[in-house]
Structures are given as C-alpha cells and as structure tokens.
Amino acid sequence: MAGGGNLVVTVSPHIKSPETTGSIMRLVLLGLLPATLWACVLFGISGIAVIAISVITALFCEVTWHNLRDGKGTGRTWFALVSSLVVPIGVSAAGLGRAAPAAAIALMSAFILSEAGISRQGERRHSFDGSAAVTGLLLALVLPPLVPWWIPFVGAFIAIWLGKEIFGGLGYNVFNPALVARAILVLSWPAHLTAGWFRSLGIDATSKATPLMLAKTGAAADLTAYYAPLLLNNPGGCIGEVSAFLLLVGGAMLLWKRVITWEIPVTYLGAMAVASVLMGVDPVFHLLAGGAVLGAVFMATDYVTSPVSSRGKIVFGIMCGAITMLLRVYSKAPEGVTSAILFMNMVTPLIDRSTMPRPFGVVRAGRGVRK
Amino acid sequence: MRVRLIDLTRGLVQENPLLRLMIGLCSALAVSVKVENTIFMGLAVIFVLTLSNIVISAIRPVTPDNIRIPIFLVVVSSFVTIVDLVLKAYFPEVYARLGVWIPLIVVNCIILGRAEAFAYRNGILASTLDGLGMGAGYTLVLIVMGIVRELLGTGSITMMGVTLISLGTGFQAPTFMITFPGAFLTFGLIMGALNKAQSALAERAARRATGSAGRPTPVGGV
C-alpha cells in the first residue's frame, strides 16, 4: 500500500478467503436472529431488555478491556466504567429502580458509539469483530426472561472479562464465555436463575416451572403434550428455548454457509437420543426441551473451545450428549447442557492431542516398517 | 552464623508459599470462606512451622538421612497436636469451623517442604526466620482471600460475632464466592494481579536502567 505502485510483492499465501472473524460472527448472529426475534415477540419488553443489556454490556466490556490493555484512552475508559456502575446504583438508590437499566444502557451505548467512531487523528478507535455481541446474545438466550436487570449486566462482565479476555482474548479462552457466565450466575444467585420463567400465550397449565423441571419431578404425566410448544413457542424456559424449530432453522443456515460443520450438532443430539432410550426416558422430549438444541448448534460448536479435527468433534459431541443426559436423569438439577459443554471444553485440548490427523506418509509409532 | 533479613522476607512475596511455590493450597482454598478462620489458621500454621523448623534444624546432627521424613513428621505432628488441643479447649467455635483442617496441618506441604528444603540445611536462627516469614506469607494471602470471599459471598465481614463491614441490605451477595470455584477464582485473580504488578515493576526498573529505549524481556508469570 505504502509504495502505491502497480506491482504488489507479497509472500505466500496468495489465495485469501474473504471470510473474517467479523463475517463469521455476523452469520452466527444471523443464525440466532429468528429465535431471538420470536423471543422478543413472546416475552415482550422483559425479554428485549435482557437481550439488550446483555449484548450492550458485552460490547462495553470488550471495548473497556481492550482500551485499558492497550493503554489508549485510559482516563475516559475508567470514567465510563465507573459511571456506568455508579449511576445505575445511584438511580436505584434514589427509588427509581426501573430507570436504572435504562441509565446503564444509555451510558454504555454512548461510550461504545464514541469508541466505534473515528478519532481526531483520523483512525478508527476500536474495531468490533462481533464476537462480544455473539457472547452477549448467547448469554441472554440462556437466562430466564424475568431476571432482574443486573443479572445480564453482571453476567456479561463475567463472560467477557473472566470468561474470555483474562485468558488473552478471543482464541485463547478455555471455556465458552457465555456458559462460564451462566454457571457462575447460577451458583451466585440460584433463586433468580431458576425462577422468573415467563408463561407465554397461556398455552398450558405450566406457570412457574419449565417442562424439564416438571418432567424431573414427575409432575408432567404426558410429555408428548409438550412436543408442539417446545418446537414452536415454549411455555417456560430460558429466552433461547422459545422454539427449537427456529434454532434449527438458524443452525441449518450456518451449516449451509459452512460456518459450522455437521459433526458436533448431529453427534450431540444423536448421543442424547441414544442415551435417553437407554435410560428409558422420552428421547423426543429431551431433544426438544431445555437448552439441548441451542447448546448443540450454537455453543458446543464454538471454534475456540471445541476440537479441530473431524474425529475430535465426533468424540466431543458424543461425550457432550451423554453427559447432558446423565445429568438430566441422575443429577439433582433438571438441566445439564451448561455443565456438559463446560466439562467438554476442559477436555478439548486432550481430545485435540489424541485425534491429531496423521500427515500423509507418516508411519504411526509402534507400526514401523519391519526389517 | 550470619543472620540475613532475606530469610525472613523471602516468604512474603518472592517465594510466597501460596502464590509462588503453590503449596499448601487446599487448606487455603477451604479455610478462606471467613476472615476469622483465616486468622486462626494462619496463626496455627505460623506456630507449627516456626517451631518445627527450629526443632528440625536443631536435631540435624543426630538425624539419620535415610529416615528423616518420618522424623520430620513426628516433630510436626507434635506441634499440630498442641495447636489442636489448645484450639479445642479455648476456642471451641473456631475449632468446630476449622474442623479437619487443623489436624491436616501435619500433611500441609508448606511445613514438610520448608523442613526438607530449608530447616534441614540451615542453622536454627535462619530456620526460625524462615518459618516466621513463610508462615506470615501464607497468612497474608489467606487473609486477603478471606476478605474478598467473605465480603462478596455473604455481603459482610463478621468477626467474633461483631459485624465489621457490611455492604448493606440492598446488596445481593453472590454465593458463588464462598463455594470452591469461587476460591479458585479468587486465588487465580490474586496471583494474576501479583504477577502483573511484579512485571510492571520489573519493566519500570529495566527502563530506568537502560535509559528509555529497548523493550525489556517480560518478567514474572508462569
């Protein structure tokens, strides 16, 4: 570029893919869009608020961390951080509890927009690759729609700072950031995270418990009655569990665009089906209920925290599905997707090492050429 | 025999048993749910560590090399028994909370580690200082972890039935902080902060030494 001549001399590779982290993340967001929009319709303002706070806070956390890490705009970044913490607390202390989330959103959006702009020196201050937005959206989708506003707020800080940036940023994180946040939130405020389900459209008699909880306690006699609602408009559950069908539509789009490969979703759900048959529970219900589809399609397939090779992905998917069903059937908790994926994230390096593809022509140790 | 200050200060930061040598972690993670526990646990470890260092250093000439570990253990467990009985007699509530962690000081890596690595090779005075310094380093980290975990996890710090600090009733305490994962998180963040601070200090020192140019090699971190 600097020379401005017509002759461009570069080292290989010469064939470049137009794909970037940003373009992939935009496709993932697009894949989540149908279910997200439908959730916004079903859950109304409460669902929209959780999603907005989660996504905006995630972006805000990313910008502030990067600014502080790179030592640029340290003063204004600290100011933004402190004010977006202090102002909402002050607003709620003043008895205007409902205005607190609005204040937080306004402050954080203003900072994000100012950082996205062009600085006086004419350079872009911060470029967003969309990964924080994906994390924020996924976090919102695994939260109940009626949580207090500060749950997604704190959760996004946990996801981006403790789940991702502290390991060195995108590509270095061991665990799926959104699920790290969910796990810590569940351990911290179990009362908020296991209640606040919304009864949408008045389809069912379920008012407070999710279908999985009812199945666990045996309160739901006929599980087949839940098939249609789980597929289309889930009566109770996390925001992202509104419709398995819309999630699958998004997943199909990602498969078609080759953002994800078939191995993990298919083996994950397949293993769940096989395991539930073996355990004597309803396989269709368990595939549709809870976070199975969301986890298998959008979370277990995270590039950073899942194995690289095709064989590794198959092992990963099968183990995820088996652990999910083990937890659902034999543990105290009704759902096991979060723990299963986090656990398998942890063993991913091990899977990667033992499923490393053999380069062509290399003889495996112990099978050497006989003399 | 020369008395060196470094024997005392080594355990505080640069060879801190928890943050640098990374030994004695399990008691630290378990006990640090409450500041009060950490103070008693720290004092118990300082007591056992210092006295066992003194005795082990003193009986060096008559300790057969082949069976030194059993001998160390006999010495250490005597002092642990003293702590155990004293706590049980005078602080029964604390004793009930610390539970198994007091007898387990016997197998705490810090004590046996310092016996083997330091007291067995150094004079009595140096070993005393080492015991005090290492014990103080352990206690310091324990208290910091206790403050962070108790304050965040329960919303207040209570000692001997008196509430010292409270974050108010509006604060919904994240119980995560008083669970084991919270202990690991707190410990990791403290260690990360220390590494960061040390590398920043080293960088500043290197910059001062070389004038201004030249990026120094990163120091600290594992």
Residues A139-185 pLDDT 10s:
999 998 888 888 999 999 999 999 999 998 888 999 999 999 999 99
> Does residue B163 belong to the interface with chain A, where contact is any CB pair within 8 Å?
no
Burial class (CB in 10 A: 0-12, 13-18, 19+), A256: exposed
Are residue A96 and residue A157 in the same domain, yes or no? Answer: yes
Residues B176, A187: C-beta atoms closer than 8 Å = yes
- Is B170 near chain A, with CB under 8 Å? yes
Chain B's closest residue to A189, CA to CA, is B174
What is the predicted pLDDT for the residue at A123? 66
Domain ranges, residue B46 = 5-152
Which pLDDT score, from 0 to 100, does residue B59 have?
A: 93
pLDDT given at position A128 = 80
Predicted confidence (pLDDT) at residue B214 exceeds the cutoff of 80: no
| C-beta atoms of A93 and B170 within 8 A | yes
Q: At residue A267, does pLDDT exceed 60?
A: yes
Q: Which residues on chain A place their C-beta less than 8 Å from a C-beta of chain B?
A: 92-93, 154, 162, 166, 184, 187-190
Could you give the ipTM of this predicted complex? 0.79
Does residue A224 lie in a domain region?
Answer: yes
Closest residue in B to A93 (Cα) is B170
Q: Which of A87-96, A244-253, B132-141 has the lowest mean pLDDT?
A: A87-96
> What is residue B222's predicted lDDT score, i.e. its pLDDT?
40
Containing structural domain, residue A290:
204-236+260-354
Q: Taking CB atoms and an 8 Å cutoff, what residues of chain A touch B174? A: 154, 184, 187-189
**Predicted pLDDT at A317:** 94
A171 in a domain, yes or no? yes
Within a domain: A29? yes
Burial of A171 (0-12, 13-18, 19+ CB in 10 A): exposed
- Together in a domain, A102 and A214: no
B213 domain residue, yes or no:
no
According to the model, what pLDDT value does residue B217 have?
Answer: 52
pLDDT digits (tens, 9 = 90+) for A8-26: 788 888 888 888 888 899 9
The number of folded domains in chain B is 1
| Rg of the Cα atoms in chain B | 20
Supply the pLDDT for residue A200: 43
Helix axes A21-70, A131-141, angle to 10 degrees: 100
* Count of structural domains within chain A: 2
Q: Calculate mean pLDDT across residues A90-112.
A: 82
Number of C-alpha atoms within 13 angstroms, CB side, residue A257? Answer: 17
Closest CA to B104 of B180, B56, B45, B55: B45
Domain end (from A154, A170, A191)? A191
Asked if the model's pLDDT at residue A111 lies above 90, the reply is: no
Give the Å distances, CA to CA, from B176 to A6, B34, B127: 60, 14, 39
CA atoms of A139 and A184, how far apart (whole Å): 12
Distances in Å between the Cα of B156 and the Cα atoms of A142, B146, B148, B165, B170 are: 30, 11, 10, 5, 12
Q: What is the CA radius of gyration of chain A?
A: 23
Instruction: Specify if A371 maps to a domain.
Output: no
Residue B20's pLDDT band (cuts 50, 70, 90): confident
- Looking at residue A318, its pLDDT comes to 95
Which residues, 6+ apart, have CB-to-CB distance to B145 below 8 Å?
B28, B32, B38, B183, B186, B187, B190
Q: Is the pLDDT at B107 greater than 60, yes or no?
A: yes
Evaluate whether residue A246 is within a structural domain.
no
More confident residue, B56 or A130: B56
Residues of B within 8 A of A154 (CB-CB) are 174
pLDDT of residue A243: 86
Nearest-by-CA chain A residue for B181:
A184
Is A110 contained in some domain?
yes
Q: Are residues A184 and A271 in the same domain?
A: no
Q: How far apart are CA A222 and CA A243, in angstroms?
A: 20
Query: How many Å is the maximal CA-CA distance in chain A?
Result: 85
How confident is the model over B36-56, as a mean pLDDT? 94
Over residues A30-65, the pLDDT tens digits come to 999 999 999 888 888 888 989 999 999 999 999 999
| Residues A137 and A213 both lie in one domain | no
**Residue A294 domain-assigned (yes or no):** yes
User: Do A219 and A185 lie in a common domain?
Assistant: no
Nearest CA in chain A to B177: A188
Average model confidence (pLDDT) for chain A?
84
Mutate which of B176, B180, B191, B196 to test chain A, going by most A C-beta atoms within 10 A? B176
Task: State the pLDDT at residue A122.
Answer: 63
Residues on chain B touching A190 (C-beta within 8 angstroms) = 175
Instruction: Name every residue whose Cβ is closer than 8 Å to that of residue B148 and which is 6 or more positions away in sequence.
Output: B177, B186, B190
Determine contact: B221 vs chain A, CB below 8 A.
no
Give yes or no for residue A297 having a pLDDT over 80.
yes
Is there a contact between A224 and A283 (Cβ–Cβ < 8 Å)? no
Rounded to an integer, what distance in angstroms lies between the CA atom of residue A211 and that of residue A199? 12
The tens digit of pLDDT for each residue in B158-188 reads 887 778 888 877 788 888 998 889 999 999 9
Q: What is the pLDDT of residues A318-345, one digit of tens each?
A: 999 999 999 988 888 788 899 999 999 9
What pLDDT does B55 receive?
95
Q: Is the pLDDT of residue A313 over 90?
A: yes
| DSSP assignment letter at A223 | G
Collect all residues with Cβ–Cβ distance below 8 Å to A251 and sequence separation of at least 6. Answer: A31, A260, A265, A293, A297, A298
| Average pLDDT, integer, range A356-366 | 77
Cα distance from A298 to chain B (closest Cα, Å)?
25
Q: Measured between alpha carbons, how far is B83 from B105 in angstroms, rounded to an integer?
A: 10
Residues of chain A with C-beta less than 8 angstroms from the C-beta of B179? 187
A60 Cβ contact partners less than 8 Å away, ≥ 6 residues apart: A80, A84, A108, A111, A112, A156
Whether A33 is covered by a domain: the verdict is: yes
Residues of chain A contacting residue B192, judged by C-beta atoms under 8 Å apart: 166
In this structure, which amino acid lies at residue A350? L
Asked if residue A161 and residue A130 are part of one domain, the reply reads yes
What is the structure's pLDDT at A181? 94
Burial (CB < 10 A; 0-12, 13-18, 19+), residue B131, is: buried
Given a cut of 70, whether residue A207 has pLDDT beyond it is: no
SS3 A124: strand
Looking at residue B61, its amino acid is P
Q: Is B185's CB within 8 Å of A162's CB?
A: yes
Strand partners, B162: B159
